């Protein structure tokens, strides 16, 4: 016997894996089944996609169970607010610990078929985001009921209750204006096939009327935007730091070079639910002049619209989430890299939907009043109240020597606290390390395998970081080499090695970051790992210590010249950090202990606290130093992390 929920999982994944139907967890599906409740009674249950699930990868546990008797009882209710609706749905859950059910749960329940599938098909939207009447849409899509735009939730389910209760057997789907497609059947396979069939009919119509999906290039390439990326990031980060997604692929260039990109800046996105991320409008930059005026004008207009249309909720960040730079590409901004990536996908789909809609009829989206109602949807506002962003959300950090020891732990701590991290190291395993930490911390990272002795490589690395994330906010100069020798044995080669990696490299890294931070005009942090040797030099460390002293002196100058730009520069002086560190390998630890006349264990704990100092201690100090509430009034300072020098 076929398991009904397994069938739902199978066809939900098929639906969710098609990016022309479902984007980033959108869409929803359901099945009506018989189950036992907590008292062992047999009850009818709606299993519907729960909050946080992605149709492309959904498991059985991704579907929340609701008592059908409760849902059907709501047919007699005249109205519910969105908050009342979610409270009602929560109380109708078979198991209250399951995820919040879809806001479309009532519509799924009211459709008198076992399986219901819902997507935001590009082809369907290309037809409904027009001035076509319901009758015209039904002529294009036989066996489909066209429904005018109604915001999602209980109001939508009630409005079309008569349609779904009295629909004929030959009806295969509902086309909801500006919203998407619902199909249904008592067979999951048939519901899915109905979906594909209707979408294919829509595709054929769009192809016939609009032609192949391709935007005509009318503007030439313009690379001048490249140098303004940190400036753009700074402008849109005035309220909160943003991570940028910058797409200059052939597809993005084609969009950015088209007339449509210019024409659609005030056309709205493909679906109302995108408004929560994308806003109604985007910024179109015809050239790299007047960037500030364009972005600030957008924010001013947003504030005016907010005051006109919104009463009950605090204003969202007014700066644009999408910028299309003519001839260059598409720039999106989010609180983290994942969010910026989702917005990038949404704007591309919106451009194509609007292009097709404008070619087959007149493109037409919901009104500004309806758009702001959706953007400030009470259910999303309730989520925002509960949302506690991580301390470094929206920040970009650079960590050198990130593959081991202090650098690795600092990479992990910054990432865990929400920063997107550009990790630099010579270690060929760095890419895998980045993947592992990103998976663990759910923050983006970027591996740069680099010789920090190469000035050109450092310059190019920062260009790549800007292309990847839009800019830089934090630098931890941690990479170093250590070759312990008494003075009479120090060669010029050893001096040059220490200076190149321990002295010159931190300067070059900080110089490149400093230029970007100045362009952003949002401040920044430069932190130098110098070591206890600076203030308490020991024998056999002259070459190493001198190179570190150079880096420390450069830190002072970065502090002096960076202050007026709110760029802080500080020093951490750790001592004897052995755990995971490659600097103490190959007998260096044993040699230093011997030079002090100590055992290795004695050497490790030779401090006032008699405890080993760990990479975690240093990493957490870095985290504190970039916290404006703790070190925000501190620059040109040295902080020891050494257990107390004896």
Tokens of 275: 């408004």
In the sheet that 115-119 helps form, which strands lie side by side, from edge to edge? 63-67, 42-49, 28-36, 115-119, 180-185, 173-176, 144-147
Rg value, the chain, Cα: 29
Query: What angle separates helix 368-375 from helix 291-309, to the nearest 10 degrees?
Result: 90
Average pLDDT, the chain: 95
Indicate whether 206 and 228 sit together in one domain: no
Q: Kindly report, residue by residue over 178-192, the tens digit of the pLDDT.
A: 999 999 999 999 999
Q: Beta strands 474-477 and 396-400: pairing type?
A: parallel
Does 95 map to a domain?
A: yes
Indicate whether 205 and 241 sit together in one domain: no
Q: What is the domain count for the chain?
A: 3
Indicate whether 522 and 634 sit together in one domain: yes
- Asked whether the beta carbons of 236 and 320 are under 8 A apart, the reply is yes
Q: pLDDT confidence of 1, banded at 50, 70, 90?
A: low
Let me know the angle formed at the C-alpha of 134 by 131 and 138, rounded to the nearest 5 degrees. 115
Using the Cα atoms of residue 123, residue 129, residue 131 and residue 135 in order, give the sign of their dihedral.
Answer: positive
Does 601 map to a domain?
A: no
Does 589 map to a domain?
A: no
* Alpha helix segments (H runs only) across 541-599: 542-562, 588-595
Domain termination site, one of 334, 361, 386: 386
Read off the pLDDT of each residue in 234-250 and give the average, rounded to a whole number. 97
Q: Beta strands 445-449 and 173-176: pairing type?
A: unpaired
The CATH number given to whatever domain includes residue 407 is 3.40.50.720
Q: Is residue 287 scored above 90 in pLDDT?
A: yes
Q: Which residue has the tokens 């369907």?
A: 124
Q: Is residue 30 scored above 70 in pLDDT?
A: yes
Indicate whether 553 and 427 sit together in one domain: yes
Quick one: three-class SS letters along 355-386?
HHHHHHCCCCCCCHHHHHHHHCCHHHHHHHHH
Indicate whether 513 and 555 sit together in one domain: yes
Indicate whether 422 and 546 sit together in one domain: yes
Domain termination site, one of 154, 189, 210: 210
Tokens of 494: 């050893």
Long-range contacts for 586-592 (Cβ within 8 Å, ≥24 apart)?
Answer: 588/482, 588/484, 591/484, 591/540, 592/484, 592/540
Q: Kindly report, residue by residue over 441-465, the tens digit of the pLDDT.
A: 999 999 999 999 999 999 999 999 9
* Alpha helix segments (H runs only) across 166-236: 188-210, 229-236
Residue span of the structural domain in which 518 resides: 396-583+614-639
Does 16 map to a domain?
A: yes
Q: List phi, psi (to 5°) of 493.
A: -60, -40
Q: Which residue has the tokens 């908050």?
A: 83
Indicate whether 412 and 337 sit together in one domain: no
Does 599 map to a domain?
A: no
Does 197 map to a domain?
A: yes
Indicate whether 368 and 452 sit together in one domain: no
Indicate whether 441 and 532 sit together in one domain: yes
Q: Is residue 194 scored above 90 in pLDDT?
A: yes
Q: Residue 58: name the closest of 16, 97, 100, 114 by CA.
A: 16
Indicate whether 548 and 570 sit together in one domain: yes
Q: Beta strands 28-36 and 42-49: pairing type?
A: antiparallel
Q: Which residue has the tokens 């390390």?
A: 433
Read off the pLDDT of each residue in 147-171 and give the average, rounded to a whole number. 90
Indicate whether 15 and 120 sit together in one domain: yes
Q: Kindly report, residue by residue over 554-602, the tens digit of the pLDDT.
A: 999 999 999 999 999 999 999 988 888 777 777 888 888 888 889 988 8
Q: Which residue has the tokens 């140098």?
A: 227
Q: With DSSP H G I counted as helix, E B as strand and the rest as coil, what are the percentages for the chain, rounded to 5?
A: 50, 15, 35
Indicate whether 630 and 558 sit together in one domain: yes
Using the Cα atoms of residue 79, residue 84, residue 86 and residue 87 in order, give the sign of their dihedral.
Answer: negative
Domain termination site, one of 335, 364, 386: 386
d(CA 127, CA 132): 8
Read off the pLDDT of each residue in 259-285 and give the average, rounded to a whole number. 96
Q: Residue 192: name the closest of 442, 14, 370 by CA.
A: 14
Task: Determine the pLDDT at residue 581.
Answer: 79
Q: What is the DSSP letter of 327?
A: T
The CATH number given to whatever domain includes residue 318 is 3.40.225
């Amino acid at each position: 016997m076929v398991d009904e929920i397994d069938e739902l999982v199978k066809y939900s994944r098929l639906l969710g894996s098609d990016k022309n139907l479902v984007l980033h967890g959108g869409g929803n599906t359901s099945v009506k089944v018989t189950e036992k409740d907590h008292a062992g009674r047999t009850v009818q249950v709606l299993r519907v996609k729960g909050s946080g699930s992605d149709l492309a990868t959904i498991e059985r546990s991704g579907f929340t169970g609701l008592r059908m008797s409760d849902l059907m009882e709501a047919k007699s209710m005249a109205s519910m607010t969105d908050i009342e609706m979610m409270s009602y749905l929560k109380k109708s859950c078979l198991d209250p610990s399951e995820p919040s059910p879809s806001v479309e749960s009532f519509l799924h329940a009211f459709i008198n078929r076992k399986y219901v599938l819902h997507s935001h098909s590009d082809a369907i939207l290309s037809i409904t985001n027009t001035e076509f009447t319901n009758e015209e849409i039904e002529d294009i899509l036989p066996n489909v009921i066209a429904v005018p735009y109604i915001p999602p939730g209980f109001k939508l389910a009630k409005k079309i209750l008569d349609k779904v209760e009295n629909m004929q057997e030959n009806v295969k789907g509902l086309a909801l204006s500006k919203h998407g497609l619902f199909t249904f059947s008592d067979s999951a396979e048939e519901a899915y096939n109905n979906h594909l069939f209707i979408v294919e009919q829509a595709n054929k119509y769009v192809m016939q009327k609009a032609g192949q999906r391709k935007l005509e290039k009318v503007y030439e390439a313009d690379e001048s935007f490249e140098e303004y990326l940190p400036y753009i990031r700074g402008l849109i980060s005035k309220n909160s730091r943003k991570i940028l997604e910058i797409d200059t692929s052939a597809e993005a260039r084609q969009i950015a070079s088209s007339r449509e990109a210019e024409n659609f800046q005030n056309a709205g996105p493909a679906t109302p639910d995108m408004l929560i991320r994308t806003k109604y409008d985007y910024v179109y930059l015809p050239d790299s002049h007047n960037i500030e005026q364009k972005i600030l004008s957008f924010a001013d207009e947003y504030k005016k619209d907010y005051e006109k249309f919104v009463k009950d909720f605090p204003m969202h960040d007014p700066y644009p989430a999408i910028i299309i730079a003519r001839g260059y590409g598409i720039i999106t901004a989010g609180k983290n890299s994942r969010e910026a990536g989702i917005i990038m996908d949404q704007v591309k789909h919106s451009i194509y939907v609007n292009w097709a809609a404008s070619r087959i009829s007149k493109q037409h989206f919901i009104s500004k009043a309806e758009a702001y109602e959706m953007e400030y949807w009470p259910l999303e506002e309730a989520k925002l109240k509960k949302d506690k962003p991580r301390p470094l959300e929206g920040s970009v950090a650079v960590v050198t020597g990130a593959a081991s020891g202090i650098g690795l732990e600092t990479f992990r701590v910054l990432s865990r606290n929400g920063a997107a991290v550009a990790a630099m190291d010579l270690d060929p395993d760095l890419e895998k390390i980045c993947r592992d930490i990103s998976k663990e911390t759910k923050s983006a990272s970027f591996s740069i395998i680099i010789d920090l002795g190469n000035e050109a490589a450092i310059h190019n690395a920062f260009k790549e970081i800007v292309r990847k994330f839009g800019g830089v906010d934090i630098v931890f100069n941690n990479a170093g080499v250590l070759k312990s020798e008494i003075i009479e044995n120090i060669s010029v080669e050893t001096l040059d090695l220490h200076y190149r990696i321990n002295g010159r490299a931190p300067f070059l890294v900080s110089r490149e970051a400093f230029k970007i931070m100045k362009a952003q005009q949002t401040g920044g942090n430069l932190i130098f790992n110098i070591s206890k040797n600076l203030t308490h030099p020991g024998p056999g460390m002259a070459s190493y210590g001198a190179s570190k002293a150079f880096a420390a002196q450069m830190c002072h100058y970065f502090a002096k010249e960076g202050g007026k730009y709110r760029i802080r520069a500080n020093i951490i002086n750790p001592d004897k950090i052995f755990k995971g560190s490659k600097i103490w390998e190959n007998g260096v630890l044993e040699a230093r202990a011997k030079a002090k006349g100590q055992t290795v264990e004695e050497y490790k704990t030779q401090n006032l606290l008699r405890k080993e100092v760990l990479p975690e201690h240093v990493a957490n100090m870095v985290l504190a130093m970039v916290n404006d509430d703790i070190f925000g009034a501190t620059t040109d300072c040295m902080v020891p992390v050494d257990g107390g020098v004896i």
